[in-house]
Amino acid sequence: MLRRSFVATALAGASSSRPAVARSAGGAVDLLLALAMDVSGSLSDERLTLQRSGHARAVASDAFLDAVASGFHGRVALAAIEWTDRERQSLVVPWSVVETGADARQFATALLRASRPIPGYTSISGGIDFAVALLDRAPYAAMRRVIDVSGNGPNNDGRLASEARDDAVAAGATVNGLPMLDVVSDLAGYFAQNVIGGPGAFMVVAQDAGSFERAILRKLVLEVAHVPGEGPRDPIFAGSPMRPGS
């Protein structure tokens, strides 16, 4: 479990004075978003910490909360998954409605305080399949269902990532991506061909550790602020899927 001081540091900068948005009635949200994070053996402890803290800061940021407030219902539902080999996926933070700053900080704190994962092989397909099942069990209704895959290597365990992606799209989900290029330099091309898919699918590339947190925030804001029937306004790659450079 992470120390309380680290949790407080990671959440620094989140506005405590931001006005709350009135809660909508019923179980409807604008978006079901499953954050599927790679915790395989290719990620160092530093990268694992960066991945969690980056997502926590992004969710607790005013930019993210403003995007949430701009939706029809003014709230989204998030869940955090950590995945490694084909038989090892973990629901780190269960479905949680984020509507206010307090909601966001609660989700972020739960993510930061979760038990440390046990590393293994890289099964992107296992992570996607687990996320699809999680979306099907979500206690909230939403017009959009998104699986947000972050990772630093190609699928090397379980079925093909493209097969899992295609099944997820057939089940009504969009799969977006955040490839981290610290280990595999051409990973963006692999994600474009094998991971992202569905209506408005896109990815944001993190070139290195220094750009990772900015990439997470950018991607989450694009996902939440997505206009139905349109692709994201400023994607790195967009499509269903789209080849790099096209």
Look at residue 157 and tell me if it is in a domain.
yes
Number of Cβ within 10 Å of residue 186's Cβ equals: 11
Look at residue 166 and tell me if it is in a domain.
yes
> What's the whole-model pTM score?
0.84
pLDDT tens-place string over residues 85-132: 888 899 999 999 999 999 999 999 999 998 877 777 889 999 999 999
Residue 245's Cβ-count burial label (10 Å; 0-12, 13-18, 19+) is exposed
Average pLDDT over residues 143-164: 94
CATH number of 143's domain? 3.40.50.410
The per-residue pLDDT for 174 is 97
Look at residue 69 and tell me if it is in a domain.
yes
Look at residue 164 and tell me if it is in a domain.
yes
Domain count, the chain: 1
Look at residue 134 and tell me if it is in a domain.
yes
Min mean pLDDT across 94-98, 133-137, 154-158 is at: 154-158
The per-residue pLDDT for 227 is 54
pLDDT tens-place string over residues 197-244: 999 999 999 887 778 888 999 999 999 986 544 444 445 544 433 333
Residue 172's Cβ-count burial label (10 Å; 0-12, 13-18, 19+) is middle
Look at residue 115 and tell me if it is in a domain.
yes
pLDDT tens-place string over residues 19-29: 333 333 348 99
Look at residue 243 and tell me if it is in a domain.
no
Q: Which residues form the domain of 46?
A: 27-238
Look at residue 2 and tell me if it is in a domain.
no
